Structure formats: C-alpha cells, structure tokens
Amino acid sequence: MKISHANRGKALQNVINLTNQIYRLKGWAVVDEVPTPTKNIRGHIAYEKKSTVDYYGITHGRALAFDAKSTRNKTRFDLKNVHAHQVDYLQRFKDQGGLAFFIIEFATLNQSYFVPFDFLHKYWLAAENGRPKSIPIADIDLNCERIRSERGVALDYLKYCS
C-alpha cells in the first residue's frame, strides 16, 4: 500500500494523541499537539510558516517538547526527515531546562523509540561534517529506549522522560 508523504506519520500521530489523552486523564501530563499554521490558496492547503515541533507540554512541573517522525525504512532513520529549525528549537528548549526528544517510528517494523535530543543531535552534527546523513537502526536500538504499550497507555513515552 502506498502512503502519501503528507500522511505517512498520521497513524503515529493518532497513537500519540490517544496517549496524550490518557496522560491527561490520569493526571500524569498535559501534552498538546502544536497546530501547523496553514491557509487555503485556491482550494489547496499551504503552510504559512515553519512549525517548531509536533508536541509540547508539561509533566510533574517539567516542560517537554518533541517531534514525532515515522519512516518505512527498515535499516536507518534518514536525517533529511528532521529540519534545521526543529533541531535549533529543541536545542534552545533543552538549554532552558526542558525535556527535548524525538519519537521515531519504524512503521514497517512496528517499532517506536524514545530518542533523546542529544543522541540525535550527535548524528546531526556529524552529518554537517560530511558523515552519513542517517542513524542506523542498530544504533537507535542499542542507545535508545523502545516505547511499548504499558501502564494502560498506547505508546508510553512518558516513562522515559526524566
């Protein structure tokens, strides 16, 4: 089945939104999706400006911000899926004491990972210096937590926010 570029992360987005509803109901966190500013131009939706990240919120007095990415690649996560303005935003957010991270889904493998900002940023900087512009799934699997359905939550990423 072919999935359009615009909808490739929709399933992940839906699971995260459900997870965030449960977190809110349980009193564990308040996390909201950041709407992407759009406008209708002659019947087509156009983005007005670059968004920051997909989600932001607070858990037990600590601010958090993250972006959710989905890939159908089975062996690596391509950094072309991350934008410079997102890296810059998450770096500044982290510098202010916030929790900054990515949720990366390998859709064809049905695996999602909690990827701390610092881990991805290391690869980002290396790519800027001529290294490969991707992160092997083996490195993600070895260094990042795999997110599972736990504690009555569909995708319990909050478990790794510390």
- State the CATH number of the domain containing residue 124: 3.40.1350.10
Structure confidence at residue 9 (pLDDT): 67
pLDDT band at residue 35, thresholds of 50, 70 and 90?
Answer: confident
Q: How far is CA 154 from CA 10, 22, 43, 101, in A?
A: 15, 9, 36, 18
Q: Which residue has the tokens 């972006």?
A: 67
Count of Cβ atoms closer than 10 Å to residue 141 Cβ: 13
C-alpha atoms less than 13 angstroms from C-alpha of 144 in its C-beta half-sphere: 26
Q: Distance between CA 152 and CA 154 in Å, rounded?
A: 7
What average pLDDT does range 42-71 have in this prediction? Answer: 84
Q: Distance between CA 146 and CA 157 in Å, rounded?
A: 9
The rounded percent of the chain whose pLDDT value lies above 90 is 77
* Identity of residue 105: E
Q: How far is CA 54 from CA 14, 66, 111, 136, 154, in A?
A: 12, 6, 19, 23, 18
Q: Are 78 and 65 in contact (CB under 8 A)?
A: no
pTM of the predicted model, to two decimals?
Answer: 0.87
Average pLDDT score, the chain: 89
Total structural domains within the chain: 1
pLDDT band at residue 162, thresholds of 50, 70 and 90?
Answer: confident
pLDDT band at residue 120, thresholds of 50, 70 and 90?
Answer: very high
Structure confidence at residue 22 (pLDDT): 96
pLDDT band at residue 73, thresholds of 50, 70 and 90?
Answer: very high
**Containing domain of residue 99, as a range?**
5-160
Q: Are 113 and 144 in contact (CB under 8 A)?
A: yes
